[in-house]
Chains A and B, each alone.
Chain A
Amino acid sequence: MSEASPAGEGAPSKKALKKQQKEAEKAAKKAERQAQQAADAEASEGEDYAKDRYGVSRMVQSHEKPDRKLVKVSTLNSDVADQTVWVRARLHTSRGKGKQCFVVLRQQQFTVQGILNVNETISKAMIKFTSGVAKESIVDVEGVVAVVPQKIESCTQQDVELRLQRFYVISQSVPRLPLQIEDASRPKGEEEEGSQAPTVNQDTRLDNRILDLRTQTNQAIFRVEAAVCQLFREALRKRDFVEIHTPKIISAASEGGANVFTVSYFKTNAYLAQSPQLYKQMAIAADFNRVFTVGAVFRAEDSNTHRHLCEFVGLDLEMAFDYHYHEVTDVIGGMFNDIFRGLRDRFPTEIAMVNKQFPAEPFKFLDPPLRLEFPEGVKMLKDAGVEMGDEDDLSTPNEKLLGRLVKAKYDTDFYILDKYPLAVRPFYTMPDPNNPKYSNSYDMFMRGEEILSGAQRIHDPEFLSERAKHHGIDLETIKSYIDSFRFGAPPHGGGGIGMERVVMLYLGLDNIRKTSMFPRDPKRLTP
C-alpha cells in the first residue's frame, strides 16, 4: 500500500487511512449488531438460567484439587446405568439440531455418545454453545449414564449414552483442522452418498502426525507395537537373557562401510550404529551368556520402499549355545511364538480395531515353528516355475512367492529358512560342517517378508581372519572385532529384528511408515 504514498513507509496514505476508518466503523457496527442480537436472544429467552452449566473454563494452572473423580470412557456400560459421572474427553463431533445436540466424546480409542435436550435446566443458549465448540477440543462433561434401546453403531460404547448436564471446555482446538479424524480413520474404498468417501493420504497424515495418531486405528497400532516390545522382553527374560545397552555412536562402520551416517565428533568423525552386532558379541565374549537389546538402529540407505526406514528400533539378541546352533533357532522361534500367542490372546481388541480400517487375514503360526532348509525352498520355487540357481540368494519377489507357497502347504505365516548358501552371507558366518557350500545361517519370515537374519558366528579368531581374507576384507579395519575373540569365546549365534516390520507384518499393513510413530526416511526428517 506504500506504493501510492509519496511519504513512503512512515505514514499511511490518505486512502489507506480512509479504508482503516471504514473498517473500524464496520467492526463497530458488527459488534453492535451482535450485542444487539445477543441481547435480543436473551430478551426473548429471558435470563440464561443455564449459564453456570457451560462455558470455557479458566486455564488449569493447578489452582485447586477438586474432589471430582473423572471416569474413563471405556468403563461406561450398562453396569453403571443411571449414575452421574464426570468425563474428560475430546469432542469428536457435535451436531446441533434446534432443541437438541448430539456429541460424540472420544478418549483414546473409545467413544461414547452424549446428548443435550433443552429442558428446565438446559437452555437453548447452552445447546448453541455446545454445538459451536471446535472439534478436537478437550472438554469436561457431567452426565447421567443411560441405557439406549438401540445399539449405537458409530461408538465403541454401544449400550449407553450420556445425558449431559454440564459442559466445560478445558482446552480449545483451532476450528480448522488440517485433516478430519473421520477421514483419517476411514477404510479405503468406502462409499459415501454414492461417491468415493474422502480419505487422507500418507504424506498429509505424516505432516500432521499428532492429529493422525489420534485415530482409533493408530491408537491401536501403537499399543500393539508396545505389546511387541513388552512380549519380546518377557519372552527373553523368561529364557534367562540379560538386557544390555550398546553405544549408538561408534568409531567404525559395523557391517561393511556403506550405508552409515557420519556425525562430527569433536575434532574427528564418528558413525551412527547400523546394528549392535559387534557389541552383542562382545557381551557374549564377556560371559553374559544370553543378551538382548532394544534400541535405535540407523541405515543411510537411500531406498524409498514400503519396508525401509533410515532409523528404526532394533530388537537384537545373541546367545551362547552348547553344541548345535539349532539351540539358537529354537530359542528365537519359541520367542516369536510367545510374541504371536501373547498378541493373539492379550490384544484381540486392538488387532480387531486395526483390521476394521486395514482388513487383513489373521496371523497364523505353528508351534513349534516350521523350519525348512534352503534347498527345500529352492525346490518349492523351482516346482512353481521359478528359474534360479541352487546357491542364488532369494530375490524379494521370490521371497514373497515362497511365503505364499509355504502358506499354501503348511498354513503358516511364520517360518524359518535354514542353511543359506555360504556365498550370500557375511564373512563372520559359520560354514556348514557337512557341505562347504552352505552355512549355519537362517532367515525368518512373516507373511513372506524377511524379519530376522541371523547365524552361528565364527568365534575362532584364526578362522575368522581366514574367512575375512577370503571375502577380501582388509584385516586392519576389523582388527578390534577379531581381537575380541582372542581371549576365548563360547560358540554363539543370534539375530536382529526390526520392530516396526514385525508390527507391520503381524497386522498385515502395507507400509512401515504406519508403524513408526515419527518415521525417518530419505525424504522425511520432520516432524
Chain B
Amino acid sequence: MTQKNGPGMYKVEPYYDFNRIPVELPTCMFKMASYLENSENNQEDPKLIELERRQEHILQELKSLENEVSTLASKLKPSADVIVTRQKDTALGSVIHDIVIYANPAQPLLSLGVLYEMLKVNYRCRSSVHIHSSVKSLPDRLWSCFSNGVELSRGEAQISLTLIWKDVSHGPIMMVAAPSQSPIHGEANIARYVARLLNPGYDATDPVRATTVDHWLDLATSSLVNGSSKEKAAGVRALNSRLGRCEWLAGPSISVADVVCWSALHGAGQAAGAPANVQKWLKACAGHSLFTMASGLVTA
C-alpha cells in the first residue's frame, strides 16, 4: 500500500452522466390517450357550428337592440324608468282590476266621473254604484251618476270602478289591493293613481309636467278643499293668474290637475264667483267631452 494518497488510485467514470444523456422524467403517474384528440379527428360537428352561428346572431341582435335603446335614450331622458313601467302595464293581468272608492253622499266626488271617462279611453271599463249600510238613503242623481252607457260583464272588463256611498268623514278613500296597501285618502291622491294607471310612464316621460300637475293637485287639496276662506280665495287667485297665461293648468292639454281643481272649486262653492280667467277655463271644462257626465252632477 502506498502512503501516497493521491488524487486517487483509480479514476472511475461516473456511472451516470446527467449532462450527457437526457433522462425523461414522468410528469404524470399514468399516461393515457387524450380523450379530446378523438374529436379532432371527427372534423367539425354541424350541431356545434349551428350553435355558434345562433350565438353570433343573438349577440348581433343584442348589439342592434343596444344601439336602438341608446339612440332612444338620447332622445327621451331619463331612460331607466321606461323599462320598469312597462312591467307595470302588464300587472293589470287577466283578471279585472277593481278600484273601490268610498265617498260620502254629502260631498259627491265630482272628479271621479271625469277620471272614469279618461280610463274609458284607454281601457275596457265597467262601473257599479253601491250604498253602504251606514247610509240610509241616497238622492237619485247620485244613484244614476255612473249607470249610463252599456255595462260590460265582469269577465270582459279590464278595469272596474266600484263606487260605494258610505259615511266617510274625511274625504274619499280608495282601496285597490287590500292585503298590500293602506287606504288612500283624498281626491287628489285618487287622481294621482288614475293618472299613472292611464300612462305607466307618467313620472318618466315628462317630469316637468308631472311636477306641475302635482303642484296644482296640492293646491286643490290644501287650499280649495281643506283651507280657510282666506286660503280658498288665495287659491282661486293663483288659479286665475295661471289661467291668464295658459289654457290648461298643466301643459298643452287637459290633465288630472284641471279635473281635480275643477271638482274642488265646485265642491268649495267658489265656482260661481270666480274671476274671469277661471270662468273661461270652467266653461272650457264644461264643454269638454270628458266632463259631460260629471257636469250633470254639478247642475243638478
Binding site for B on A (CB under 8 A): 340-341, 344, 362-373, 375-376, 379-380, 383-385, 405, 408-412, 418-419, 434
**Chain B residue with Cβ nearest A344:** B133
Q: Which of A367, A370, A384, A405 has the most CB of B within 10 A?
A: A367
CB nearest to B160 among chain A residues: A376
Residues of A within 8 A of B164 (CB): 366, 410-411
Is there contact, CB below 8 Å, between A364 and B95?
no
B residues with CB within 8 A of A: 93, 95-96, 98, 100, 102, 128, 130-134, 154-155, 162, 164, 166, 175-180
Q: How far is the CA of A340 from the CA of B98 in the complex (A)?
A: 25
Given contacts A364-B132, A366-B133, A366-B164, contact A373 B154 (CB under 8 A): yes
Closest chain A residue, CB of each to CB of B156: A434
- Identify the 10 closest CB pairs spanning chains A and B, nearest first: A408-B178, A366-B130, A409-B178, A379-B95, A384-B179, A367-B131, A409-B175, A365-B133, A373-B154, A364-B133
Give the residue name and chain of the A residue nearest to B177 (CB).
A383
Beyond the given pairs A364-B133, A366-B132, A412-B132, 14 more chain A to chain B contacts, judged by CB atoms under 8 angstroms and listed by A's residue number, are: A344-B133, A364-B134, A366-B164, A367-B131, A370-B130, A375-B155, A376-B96, A383-B179, A405-B179, A408-B179, A410-B164, A410-B175, A411-B132, A412-B130
**Residue among A369, A375, A385 with the highest chain B CB neighbour number at 10 A:** A375
- The interface residues of chain B lying within 8 Å CB-to-CB of A369 are 130
Nearest to A434 among chain B residues (CB) is B155
Given A373-B155, A375-B95, A411-B164, A340 and B133 contact (CB-CB distance below 8 Å): yes
Q: List 15 A–B pairs whose Cβ atoms lie within 8 Å, in order of A's numbering.
A: A366-B130, A366-B164, A369-B130, A370-B162, A371-B154, A372-B154, A373-B96, A373-B154, A373-B155, A375-B155, A379-B95, A383-B180, A409-B98, A409-B175, A411-B132
CA distance A44 to B175 in the complex (A): 80
> Is A409's CB under 8 angstroms from B95's CB?
no
Chain B residue nearest to A408 in the complex (CB): B178
By CB atoms of chain A within 10 A, which of B95, B128, B133, B134 has the most? B133
Query: Whole-angstrom distance from the CB of B271 to the nearest CB of chain A?
Result: 31
In the bound complex, residues from chain A placing their C-beta under 8 Å from that of B178 are 380, 405, 408-409
Alpha-carbon distance A276/B164, docked complex (angstroms):
37
Contact call A409/B131, Cβ cutoff below 8 A: no
- What distance in Å separates the Cβ of B1 from its nearest Cβ neighbour in chain A? 103
Residues of A within 8 A of B166 (CB): 411
A427 CA to B180 CA in the complex, in Å?
38
A373 to B94 Cα, complex, angstroms: 13
Point out the residues of chain A lying under 8 angstroms from B134, CB to CB.
364
Closest residue on chain B to residue A370 by CB atoms: B130
Asked whether B131 lies within 8 Å of A411 as measured between CB atoms, the reply is no
A444 to chain B, nearest CB (A): 16
**B130 in contact with A376 (CB, 8 Å):** no
B130 near A368 (CB under 8 angstroms)? yes
- Complex Cα distance, B102 from A300, in Å, reads 45
Nearest to B136 among chain A residues (CB) is A345
User: With A373-B154, A383-B179 as given contacts, are A411 and B93 in contact (CB-CB < 8 Å)?
Assistant: no
Note all chain A residues with C-beta closer than 8 A to B132.
364-366, 411-412
- Contact yes or no, B133 A363, CB < 8 A: yes
Nearest-CB distance from B132 to chain A (Å)? Answer: 6
B93 touches A379 (CB 8 A): yes
Contact A367 B154 (CB under 8 A): no
